Amino acid sequence: MKRVSLALLALAGAAPLGAQVMLDRPPNLSGTWVGEPGVIQFNFVHRFYVSPSPSYSVTNFPTFTFATGLPAHLGLGIHYSTRSETPGHINEIELFARWRRSSGPFSLAVTPAWNGASKSADGEVSAEWTYRHVTLVGALRGMSKPFRTSTARAALAGGAVLRFNDYVAVGADLASFVNPESGEAAAWSAGLLFVIPGSPHMFSLHASNVGVNTIEGSSRRGSLFGLTNVLYGFEFTIPLHLKRFSPWFHKAPKPVTIGGPAGAAIAAEVRMSSVKFIGDSITIAAGQAVRWTNADPVEHTVTFDGAAEPGSPVIPPNGSYVHRFEKAGTYTYHCTPHPFMKGVVIVK
């Protein structure tokens, strides 16, 4: 039970992670994103269409993504949709791999894929360019038998993302087959993208005319049930950072001590475990120090309320923070990523 609790903690309590770059891609493009090794990425895209009066029936278009990063800038994944664009198929599965290389503001990725519904060898070459708060994405796609036809086809796609800060961005994209057939129209999407503060998760709100987020499905307007109107929906991302809590995926981090003025006498120990300060109220004498040790699989801080004392930087798992108190007083503190964690040091 304790292992389960730690697993949930690693998902829900981590600070925003640099590997979570979902703010760098618009809703219908994967761009050049490759997850980091030791992370299983689960993305859930759910879009829906509401038919006109009088029925107002709702048609759902979910697409699930499972992916993981590998060494050497590689990634493997699968897209699964319950609404296939291929005639005669209800579900659609796309297996894909991705190789990425980056140099400065530029990134390039090659994505070979196999669409199980259309029995088509698909692929994409994508490029990104980032300058400050703007990312531009472009892609060239090829499909051997899209939608189970006998003709190989190519498509072009492009998009952009504007980040307002580390937590909020807007994005849009457009894609079309190079030689559209009669009745085919370009695919598009627009989204408002969020990183959920204090977590590694992203949530986005979408408007699009695409219901299936595979290479084929996002290359033209969705045609299921003759839909020609806008679909609305959302995407929620869940990176499972297995290496944060399982010894199978990583070695325990080496102990590291932050702070600690020379000659400080450690008078009390506070353990950070199960998202609590164990020993949340302690009493020491002026001139003595307290050591906080992080026994959780996620990062914590010791942030003092008010401006009486400087707080700690981020304390990594298996790390410690030492602080000496020079003046008598009552010092309350909390953890910035987990503000419900609170403690107090009484100095006499």
- How buried is 19 (Cβ within 10 angstroms: 0-12 exposed, 13-18 middle, 19+ buried)? middle
pLDDT for residue 106 is more than 60: yes
pLDDT for residue 261 is more than 80: no
Of the candidate ranges 109-118, 245-254, 261-270, the one whose mean pLDDT is the lowest: 245-254
Query: Does residue 252 belong to any structural domain of this protein?
Result: no
**Among the three residues 182, 209, 244, which one is the final residue of a domain in this structure?**
244
For the record, the structure tokens of 89 come out as 């198929």
pLDDT for residue 51 is more than 50: yes
Indicate the number of domains in the chain: 2
Contacts of 104 (CB under 8 A, 6+ apart): none
Query: Does residue 255 belong to any structural domain of this protein?
Result: no
Domain that holds residue 338: 263-347
For the record, the structure tokens of 315 come out as 């304390």
**Among the three residues 180, 209, 244, which one is the final residue of a domain in this structure?**
244
pLDDT for residue 8 is more than 90: no
Q: Same domain, yes or no, for 201 and 326?
A: no
For the question of whether the overall pTM of this predicted structure is more than 0.85, the answer is: no
Q: Same domain, yes or no, for 162 and 292?
A: no
The CATH number given to whatever domain includes residue 276 is: 2.60.40.420
CA distances to 68, 90, 106 from 93, in Å? 17, 10, 30
Of the candidate ranges 199-208, 220-229, 254-263, 295-304, the one whose mean pLDDT is the lowest: 254-263
Give yes or no for a contact between 31 and 43, defined as CB atoms under 8 angstroms apart.
no
**Among the three residues 244, 275, 300, which one is the final residue of a domain in this structure?**
244
Query: Does residue 254 belong to any structural domain of this protein?
Result: no
Q: What mean pLDDT comes out for the span 216-242?
A: 83
| Residue written as token pair 């994944």 | 77
Q: What mean pLDDT comes out for the span 284-296?
A: 91
For the record, the structure tokens of 335 come out as 């953890």
Q: Same domain, yes or no, for 149 and 11?
A: yes
Query: Does residue 217 belong to any structural domain of this protein?
Result: yes
pLDDT for residue 338 is more than 80: yes
Query: Does residue 250 belong to any structural domain of this protein?
Result: no
Q: What mean pLDDT comes out for the span 121-141?
A: 95
pLDDT for residue 75 is more than 90: yes
How long a stretch of residues is the chain? Answer: 348
Q: What mean pLDDT comes out for the span 225-244?
A: 78
CA distances to 6, 41, 82, 109, 290 from 160, in Å? 37, 23, 28, 17, 49
The CATH number given to whatever domain includes residue 102 is: 2.40.160.40
Query: Does residue 253 belong to any structural domain of this protein?
Result: no
Q: Same domain, yes or no, for 237 and 142?
A: yes
Q: Largest Cα–Cα distance in the chain? A: 83
Q: What mean pLDDT comes out for the span 209-228?
A: 84
CA distances to 37, 149, 178 from 156, in Å? 30, 19, 7
Q: Same domain, yes or no, for 273 and 158?
A: no
- The H or E element containing residue 4 is helix 2-12
Of 308 and 54, the structure prediction assigns the larger pLDDT to 54
Q: Same domain, yes or no, for 310 and 213?
A: no
Give yes or no for a contact between 242 and 236, defined as CB atoms under 8 angstroms apart.
no
pLDDT for residue 55 is more than 90: no
- The mean of the pLDDT values for the chain is 85
Query: Does residue 256 belong to any structural domain of this protein?
Result: no
Q: Same domain, yes or no, for 207 and 284?
A: no
